[in-house]
Structure 1
């Protein structure tokens, strides 16, 4: 016996493919509207039956019906609902693999974004970009895709003067860029967030953290630049880092007195001297009072490896 979800889906399919009868009594518009409602009912029924992949399919079909009637707001909402159902589908019990499940969820969100943009609902489009970023980062392991989605969300929030939301997305994007070794991009994003944060007493406290992370990226910059000689690249990293620290102190004079600034200078000096022991001691001293998180630790380990690997400097 077919489930209630199947029954609604069959009715919806029949209505969507029907000729519509005599034009006097019916119309394509009403046909698609009725099919839309039936697909929504099917989707809700499937959700109650814990058939999330089928629910996603039904809501996607509902969105297609809404588009046929040029109801873009309804379509956007339906695609969004479909994406949430696809995320909940169980790959071990469904024919959908995990990778395909996430790809379908992201595709539904991308359709939602496009429709929101066409309707001028940019804040909601940015929200959906954040959802895509979370899916790719947390469930899909696609850090590069998550980076692009976070930055896209931040750019839209910026256009909408939603500075706090934009900075949150840029911070996430910056950390992903640093983790992926895209240091220059990470620097630009961290410095952007820092600059935006200087203007408010509520956000100014976090500036030293952004400067620290940007400084670490400066020190790592050039390690993958194959066009620069290894020794020249080594020295350029230190010069760029020192120049960046000076710029940070000019933008925020209080930074010069912060432990973060002193720490950056200490490890830059150790890096310049090619002294891995001095570098390790500076890191340990800082970590005793201010615990280093996983992101900073990973970058510091990469920088230390560069000291050990640099010929003629240790």
Structure 2
């Protein structure tokens, strides 16, 4: 009986035809998806651009029309703000920047200097993507306004941002000017860590421009300040090393020796560090006019504590001076 049932089921199953799966009408490739996404993005950006232009047009109309003085500029400011945001979403950075400047002017008419300063900052951040000089100009305007209303920590922050923009453009001289301004403002506001960061930038760039004494004074000052702070004490040997390398660049062995004595008095633990040993050994190699010793000393230190590009550049200058001195003496003999 069971066999008969099984046989019957088997024949039924065999008689069933399995229908083939329907073929996909179209296959979405990766390229197709990307193209579709790109079209959607472009459409959204075009829509935002149209919205921005419409908001801007309405704002201009408000300014040129009749109405209460305050109300007119408040309404225009609101519309310029919306326009600028839409220009940003459309990635139309120059238009966004110029619109934020119009917004700043409205706030100035309303005597809202803080809001005007912030609008200039927003303009600067838009121009940063296209025109660095315009970005710097807007940040300068913002800093002036922050100074007028006594927001000195904000002024310090944006002085630093200007310095960073000049640095990105390899304009080291102007970067130094603005890092110094930022350091002064941070110092006045007792934001010591930020002030020291800016001072270190000044020292770094001054040394690149061969203004070694300026760098030495800054690094020594930071080292002295750091000794009185438990959190900053660990960095003292690094600051003294930087000051010492700048001393080496000046090539005056007596001055180097005197500096090392000063550093020991400043921090009695310094004489037991590898940084002190490096400076003392290089000073000896300069005094002995021994390039081989100089190279070995630097190589040994670098194998334990890799030298950054700034230190390497300055030490190469020291080596070149040592080489030149050696060649000069060879010529005399």
User: Where on the TM-score scale, by shorter chain, does this alignment land: which range?
Assistant: 0.7 to 0.9
Cα distance in 1 for partners of 2:171, 2:163 equals 9
Aligned with residue 116 of structure 1, among 120, 141, 146 = 146
Aligned to 2:11: none
Aligned to 2:167: 137
**Is 1:199 aligned with 2:228?**
yes
TM-score by length of 2: 0.81
Aligned with residue 220 of structure 1, among 245, 249, 261 = 249
Cα distance in 2 for partners of 1:127, 1:246 equals 37
Computed over aligned residues only, the root mean square deviation of the Cα atoms, in angstroms, reads 1.6
Aligned to 2:156: 126
Aligned to 1:276: 291
Q: Which consecutive residues of structure 2, in runs of 5 or more, have no partner in the other structure?
A: 1-45
Sort the Cα spacing of 1:257 and 1:49 in 2 relative to 1 into closer, same or farther, 3 A: same
Alpha carbons 1:273, 1:313 under 8 Å: kept: no
Cα distance in 2 for partners of 1:13, 1:313 equals 76
Q: What secondary structure sits across from 1:253 in the alignment?
A: coil
Q: CA deviation at 1:12?
A: 1.8
Aligned with residue 321 of structure 2, among 301, 306, 309 = 306
Cα deviation 1:241-273 (Å, max 9, x = unaligned): 221111111111101111111110111111122
Cα distance in 1 for partners of 2:106, 2:219 equals 44
Q: Which consecutive residues of structure 1, in runs of 5 or more, have no partner in the other structure?
A: 90-100, 222-233
Q: CA deviation at 1:313?
A: 4.8
The total of aligned residue pairs comes to 282
Cα distance in 1 for partners of 2:96, 2:163 equals 23
Segments ≥4 residues shifted beyond 6 Å: none
**Is 1:79 aligned with 2:155?**
no
Aligned to 1:98: none
TM-score by length of 1: 0.86
Cα distance in 1 for partners of 2:170, 2:61 equals 40
Q: What secondary structure sits across from 1:70 in the alignment?
A: coil
Cα distance in 1 for partners of 2:329, 2:311 equals 24
**Is 1:163 aligned with 2:210?**
no
Cα deviation 1:260-305 (Å, max 9, x = unaligned): 1111011111112222221111111111211111110000001111
**Is 1:291 aligned with 2:312?**
no
Cα distance in 2 for partners of 1:183, 1:61 equals 45
Alpha carbons 1:129, 1:152 under 8 Å: kept: yes
Cα deviation 1:119-177 (Å, max 9, x = unaligned): 11111111111211222213x12122222222211111111111111111111221122
**Is 1:16 aligned with 2:46?**
no
Aligned with residue 60 of structure 1, among 95, 101, 110 = 101
Cα deviation 1:76-118 (Å, max 9, x = unaligned): 10000111111123xxxxxxxxxxx001001111111111111
Cα distance in 2 for partners of 1:259, 1:295 equals 18
**Is 1:240 aligned with 2:255?**
yes
Alpha carbons 1:274, 1:313 under 8 Å: kept: no
Q: Which moved more, 1:158-167 or 1:32-41?
A: 32-41
